Structure 1
Amino acid sequence: MSIGRIIVGYDRSADAKEAARWALDEAARTGAPVEFFYAYEWPVWAPAASMVPSPSVWPDSETVQAIKETLAEAVAAAALSHPGVRTTIVTATNEAALALVNSSVDAGMIVLGSRGHSAVVNLLGSVSSAVSARARCPVVVVRGRPDGTAPVVVGVDGSPPSEVAFTFAAEQAIAHGTHLRVIRAWKPVQALWSVPPTVERAVSPQQRKPFDDRVAAWRATYPQLEILAEAVVDHPASALTSASTHAQLVVVGSRGRGSLRGLLLGSVSQHLLRHAACAVAIAREPKD
């Protein structure tokens, strides 16, 4: 299977290198090319009088050359570790999130590290949140080096985005030769009429039946894949974060649409981007 190019934010940091390794492994599996991407912004120093021209003084030629050398080193390393993967280099002198979102229109996937020296791979900054929310393709944020024997985890809720997430997660689990944990979490409901108030902690058979039926259909579609289904009463963010401690990848769907995507990335996704113990994938259909 061949997909669109995989864009990896790269700045030579340890986390960026882990993101590159993840992206190159995915490219080797799918036949996709990998684009090593670096975006940086620079200040414009202006005098007090607004009528006087204000030339940019950064980046200078040495900075530009250093960035090119960093990316060239990544390409050289990729040629040794993944000789069959095609690689390219792209730099952008633009706001990092905007540049990545624009590039996502014709990309197959964006892969970012959890931390880094530049805004491109700064998980806790606005860039990763914006890219994860607004990109037009799946986004994977790599956290540490995953255990290749650990399962893939996917959170579902019966919505169309969670169907997309399941498909992405199933393909990843099959590719890595591991099983898939499917978690359906219902938020706890407090029974205010009881004295003292209690919290319902059990999933009723009526609540669970549509989930069980869907799991049966998935098992029929993917007979080669071991699928473990879990129905729990817990906040989805909490349930998936706990599951991430024994997973190599957690997958969730995206609910964002159109120009408001950056405002519509769900709280579950945002929580996982900050607290998951493994890589997180925000799955969506390319160009959705």
Structure 2
Amino acid sequence: MTARRIIVGYDRSTDAKAAARWALDEALRTGAAVEFLYAYEWPAWLPATSTVPAPSVWPDGETDRAIQGALNEAAALAKQSHPSVPTHVTFVHNSAALELIGRSAGASLVVLGCRGHSGVTGLLGSVSVAVSAHAKCPVVVVRGEPAGEAPVVVGVDDSPSAQVALVFAVEAALARGVGLRVIRAWPQVTGLWEQSQIVTRVVTEQERRPFDELIAGWQRKHPELTISAEAVVAHPAAALAEAGRDAQLLVVGTRGRGAMLGMVLGSVSQHVLRHSPCTVVVAHGEQ
């Protein structure tokens, strides 16, 4: 992870404040600067008929001042808690998702809360979904308060995006001084024999060999890093969400293999973003 600039999507919500804390801690580790970005898209409401006078559709100065005040407050709190981290604030009139996606090309990370200001609890915010799918850099969706010694977990297969995720996870584990759990899931038996005691699914030695060789290569490269390699027979989304219960960070690629390859964001990534109990990183970029 190149130490450049971490962008925090900030709207003063509880989840955005948690994202800010995470970003500041990460900046302290990497030497990056943190930008608090508040993108405000004023609803362009028009009356149902042209005979009704239309109200102003652009925010007044009071709204702008309130938002700028919230950003200044965030920067002041960051100065108190992380005095060595450079910070600045940005306020734009635009869609939050579009603004964050556009700015991600020049960032090392985009960090978001899991919901933002939403009247529906328990759901992943639409901004998080859109940015995770289309950003040009890794996107972090902050959730939970894990112990500092908890490991980093990453899901891999043989897709290019999974290798990008593994690189990110290795660097994250090294930076935090914690272990790394690498999970490779193979499909379960389905169809007619799914409930049969006769036919069971096991990962063969031949299937597992490339995975073991991959892990051995990373272990040779970083002998100081404790790596556990887990080959499981399970749906990868379920296996990773379960592993997130004991992790401080869960890293996934943007797409896996199979029929879901053409989707905007892979089905595994979507499931993990919605159901992981810990912070999730969707790794974009090149190895």
> Structure 1 length as normaliser, TM-score?
0.89
Select between 145-154 and 187-196 the one with higher mean Cα deviation.
187-196
1:110-129 pair list within 5 angstroms: 110-117=110-117, 124-129=124-129
SS at match of 2:238: helix
For the aligned residue pairs, the C-alpha RMSD in angstroms reads: 2.7
Equivalent pair of 1:18/1:145 in contact (CA under 8 Å): no
Label 1:233 to 1:37 Cα distance change in 2 as closer, same or farther (>3 A). same
Query: Partners in 2 of 1:88 and 1:47 — Cα distance?
Result: 39
Whether 1:159 and 2:159 are equivalent positions in the alignment is: yes
SS at match of 2:190: strand
Whether 1:237 and 2:252 are equivalent positions in the alignment is: no
Deviations 1:155-178 (A, max 9, x none): 000222111111111111111111
Equivalent pair of 1:123/1:273 in contact (CA under 8 Å): no
Select between 124-133 and 198-207 the one with higher mean Cα deviation.
198-207
Query: Partners in 2 of 1:87 and 1:199 — Cα distance?
Result: 58
Query: Partners in 2 of 1:137 and 1:193 — Cα distance?
Result: 42
Q: CA deviation at 1:73?
A: 0.7
Label 1:47 to 1:194 Cα distance change in 2 as closer, same or farther (>3 A). closer
**Runs of 5+ consecutive residues of structure 1 not aligned to the other structure:** none
What percentage of residue pairs aligned between the two structures are identical? 60
Query: Partners in 1 of 2:20 and 2:222 — Cα distance?
Result: 29
Whether 1:83 and 2:75 are equivalent positions in the alignment is: no
Equivalent pair of 2:146/2:278 in contact (CA under 8 Å): yes
Q: CA deviation at 1:197?
A: 7.5
- What letter corresponds to residue 284 of structure 2 in structure 1? R
**Runs of 5+ consecutive residues of structure 2 not aligned to the other structure:** none
Query: Partners in 2 of 1:69 and 1:249 — Cα distance?
Result: 32
- 1:103 corresponds in structure 2 to 103
> Structure 2 length as normaliser, TM-score?
0.89
Equivalent pair of 2:255/2:269 in contact (CA under 8 Å): no
Label 1:234 to 1:10 Cα distance change in 2 as closer, same or farther (>3 A). same
Deviations 1:90-127 (A, max 9, x none): 122112211110111111110001122269xx962322
Deviations 1:140-199 (A, max 9, x none): 000022221110000000222111111111111111111000000011023747995766
Query: Partners in 1 of 2:196 and 2:186 — Cα distance?
Result: 22
1:39-58 pair list within 5 angstroms: 39-48=39-48, 56-58=56-58
- 1:281 corresponds in structure 2 to 281
Equivalent pair of 1:24/1:34 in contact (CA under 8 Å): yes
Q: CA deviation at 1:271?
A: 0.5
Equivalent pair of 1:138/1:284 in contact (CA under 8 Å): yes
Q: How many residues align?
A: 281
Label 1:101 to 1:118 Cα distance change in 2 as closer, same or farther (>3 A). farther
Q: CA deviation at 1:56?
A: 3.8
Q: CA deviation at 1:132?
A: 0.1
Label 1:199 to 1:55 Cα distance change in 2 as closer, same or farther (>3 A). farther
- 1:179 corresponds in structure 2 to 179
Query: Partners in 1 of 2:43 and 2:117 — Cα distance?
Result: 17
Label 1:191 to 1:66 Cα distance change in 2 as closer, same or farther (>3 A). closer
- 2:150 corresponds in structure 1 to 150
- 2:139 corresponds in structure 1 to 139
